[in-house]
C-alpha cells in the first residue's frame, strides 16, 4: 500500500480559521487573512473542535494517490460519499501483472498461505487465458479474487477526513482500511499538523466508546453513565 498527498488547499488551517471568523465578525475574509496570527489560527481550530462546529473544516481539501490496496478495501472506501474518487478501471485496463494483498492471519499459517497464493495465481492465470481467448477484460475479471490490488485518486475535505477517521481508525474497523487511514493521517500531519492531530477514532471526540465492547482506551457509554449518576 502506498499513499501520497498529491494536492491540497494552500495553507489549509488558515482557510478554516478565516472562514470560522467570517461567521462571527463584520470583517471580510481578505482582511482576516492578513490579520490572523498563527496562535489565533491554532486557538480558533481548538475552539471549533471542542464545540463541535465542524463545517469550517470543509474549506480545506486533500487529494491522495492511493495504490496497492485490495478491491476489498476500495469497495469499503468508496462508501464514504462525501468525497471524490477516480479509480483504475477493470473494464478498460487489463491486469497483466499480478499484484494482490494477503492478510496477516493467512500469512502466519504456512499451509493455508501457500494454498492462498496458489488459488490467486490460478485465478489470474485463467484471467490471462480468457483475455487470450478474446473474452473482454470486463468479463474475465469476474474470476479475479477480491485481493487484487487497485489504484485510485481520492479527494476529501478535512471535515469528512475527521469523520472517516473517527470510524476507520477505530480498532474494530477492518485492518486494511485502518492501515489506509493511518497512512492518510500521516500525510495530512506533514502539511497540516493541527488538522492531522484531529484525525482519530470517534471515542476521542465522544469521550466514550459506543461499540458493544471497548478496546480499553475509553469506557463504554454505559460505564460512563453509571459513574456519572
Pick from 37, 39, 92, 213 the residue near a copy of itself by CB under 8 A.
92
Q: Which of 21, 71, 168, 194 is catalytic?
A: 168
Active site residue 168: yes
Question: What residues from 140 to 169 belong to the interface with a copy of itself (CB under 8 A)?
Answer: 140-147, 151-153, 155, 157
| Whole-number Å distance between alpha carbons of 24 and 12 | 20
Contact code string over 111-130 relative to a copy of itself, x by CB under 8 A: -x--xx--xx-xx--x--xx
Contact code string over 29-68 relative to a copy of itself, x by CB under 8 A: xx--x----------------xxx--xx-xxxx-x-x-x-
Give every strand in the sheet of 84-87, ordered side by side. Answer: 61-70, 149-157, 84-87
**What is the closest distance, in whole angstroms, from the C-beta atom of residue 146 to a copy of itself in the complex?**
6
What are the beta bridge partners of residue 67?
A: 2, 151
Cell of residue 60, nine digits: 480545506
Pick from 6, 171, 215, 217 the residue near a copy of itself by CB under 8 A.
6
Which residue lies nearer to a copy of itself by CB, 39 or 229? Answer: 229
Residue 99 DSSP symbol: -
Q: Of 178, 172, 190, 218, give the one whose Cα is nearest residue 73.
A: 178
Q: Which residues are catalytic?
A: 168
Amino acid at each position: 500500500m502506498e499513499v501520497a498527498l498529491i494536492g491540497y488547499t494552500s495553507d489549509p488551517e488558515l482557510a478554516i480559521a478565516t472562514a470560522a471568523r467570517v461567521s462571527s465578525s463584520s470583517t471580510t475574509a481578505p482582511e482576516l487573512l492578513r490579520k490572523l496570527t498563527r496562535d489565533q489560527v491554532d486557538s480558533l481550530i481548538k475552539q471549533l473542535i471542542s464545540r463541535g462546529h465542524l463545517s469550517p473544516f470543509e474549506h480545506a481539501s486533500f487529494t491522495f494517490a492511493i495504490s496497492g490496496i485490495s478491491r476489498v478495501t476500495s469497495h469499503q472506501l468508496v462508501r464514504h460519499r462525501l468525497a471524490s474518487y477516480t479509480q483504475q478501471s477493470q473494464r478498460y485496463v487489463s491486469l497483466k501483472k499480478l499484484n494482490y494483498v494477503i492478510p496477516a492471519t493467512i500469512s502466519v499459517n504456512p499451509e493455508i498461505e501457500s494454498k492462498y497464493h496458489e488459488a490467486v495465481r490460478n485465478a489470474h492465470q485463467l484471467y490471462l487465458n480468457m483475455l487470450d481467448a478474446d473474452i473482454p477484460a470486463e468479463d474475465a475479471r469476474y474470476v479475479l479474487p477480491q485481493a487484487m490490488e487497485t489504484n485510485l485518486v481520492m479527494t476529501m475535505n478535512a471535515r469528512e477526513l475527521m469523520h472517516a477517521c473517527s470510524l476507520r481508525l477505530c480498532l474494530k474497523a477492518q485492518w486494511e482500511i485502518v492501515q489506509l487511514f493511518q497512512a492518510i493521517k500521516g500525510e495530512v500531519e506533514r502539511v497540516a499538523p493541527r488538522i492531522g492531530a484531529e484525525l482519530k477514532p470517534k471515542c476521542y471526540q465522544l469521550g466514550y466508546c459506543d461499540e458493544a465492547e471497548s478496546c480499553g482506551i475509553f469506557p463504554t457509554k454505559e460505564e460512563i453513565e453509571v459513574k456519572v449518576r
